[in-house]
Amino acid sequence: MITGASSGIGATYAQRLAARGYNLLLIARNEARLQQLAAELAACHGVQADLLCVDLEQHSGIEKAAERLRSDAQISLLVNCAGVALNGGLGEADLDSTHSLLQLNLLALTMLSSAAAVRFSLAGRGAIINIGALVALSPERGNAIYSASKAYVLNLSQSLCSELSGSGVQVQVVLPGITRTELLERAGSSLAHIPPSMVMEVEDLVDAALRGFDQGELVTIPSLQDSSEWQALTQARLQLAPNLSHNQPAARYS
């Protein structure tokens, strides 16, 4: 099951997974695009691609997708790609746009991850891939609402991995940097002012993410050259843990 499958990262995951022999369940609002993609995948790779045209910004759409996850024993991999971004600062955000972002980036991803976690753990196998963003680690550089939503995706995925330890279910969260997709244009921005050296092609991103998946990575950062930098950050965070909750304030607050 791939959400956001009509374009960008989701469509590229569909192409790459079809090449690996996966039959697919493609989810998005744009039925025409999904039909075209399904036809291409069948012609090129001989796989079956079912379509579920729902709006994951609506409760009813989330529930239809979650119910399919709960009831379809053929689904062994969930790829949560659906997401939107916002342009401008927090003070410029309007209620409707903010609600749509939170519904799609947080609620849909959470409820589908939950449904998959329950069924996959009962089966003793399966995998969940969540697409976050690098602004989860660099909130000063992004829109506050969008970067916070992607920090949530990172935190959720790490916690879910811990909860599912020993269940046979693999969890991966992918943190792309700036990628050549329609995301910025839909948010009212563009790549025109961004140095080309910072923009990754979507095919390169997905290929790197799948290599990280094959290697069993929990967190995959496709642009990061030295993985020891991430390991050092993780170790520093873990070293904080024993000092984060005591029965008295720290002496520096006396």
- For 127-138, the pLDDT digits (tens) are 999 999 999 999
**Quick check: 104 and 56 in contact, CB under 8 A?**
yes
As for how many domains the chain has, the answer is 1
CATH number at 222 reads: 3.40.50.720
Is position 244 within any domain? no
Identify the three-state secondary structure at position 129: strand
* End-to-end Cα separation, the chain, in angstroms: 54
Q: Which pTM value belongs to this model?
A: 0.93
At 135 the pLDDT is 93
Q: How confident is the model at residue 8 (pLDDT cuts 50, 70, 90)?
A: very high
The values of phi and psi at residue 250, to 5°, are -60, 150
What is d(CA 30, CA 36) in angstroms, rounded to the nearest whole number? 10
pLDDT value of residue 172: 98
| Residues in Cβ contact with 14 at an 8 Å cutoff, skipping those fewer than 6 apart | 2, 5, 24, 26, 37, 41, 49
- β-strand partners of 170: 127
DSSP β-bridge partners for residue 127: 77, 170
Task: Judge whether 137 lies within some domain.
Answer: yes
pLDDT at 183: 65
160 occurs within a structural domain: yes
Q: Tell whether 247 is covered by a domain.
A: no
Out of 4-13, 170-179, 181-190, least confident range: 181-190
DSSP string, 134-170: GGGT-GGGS-HHHHHHHHHHHHHHHHHHHHTTTTTEE
What pLDDT, on the 0 to 100 scale, is given for residue 39? 96
Residue 8 lies in a domain: yes
Q: Which domain holds residue 193?
A: 2-228
Q: Is there a domain that residue 18 lies in?
A: yes
In a domain, 172, yes or no: yes
Residue 43 CB partners (closer than 8 Å, separation 6+): none
158: in domain: yes
For the chain, what is the largest distance between any 2 Cα atoms, rounded to a whole number of angstroms?
Answer: 70
Backbone phi and psi for residue 242, each to the nearest 5 degrees, phi listed first: -65, -15
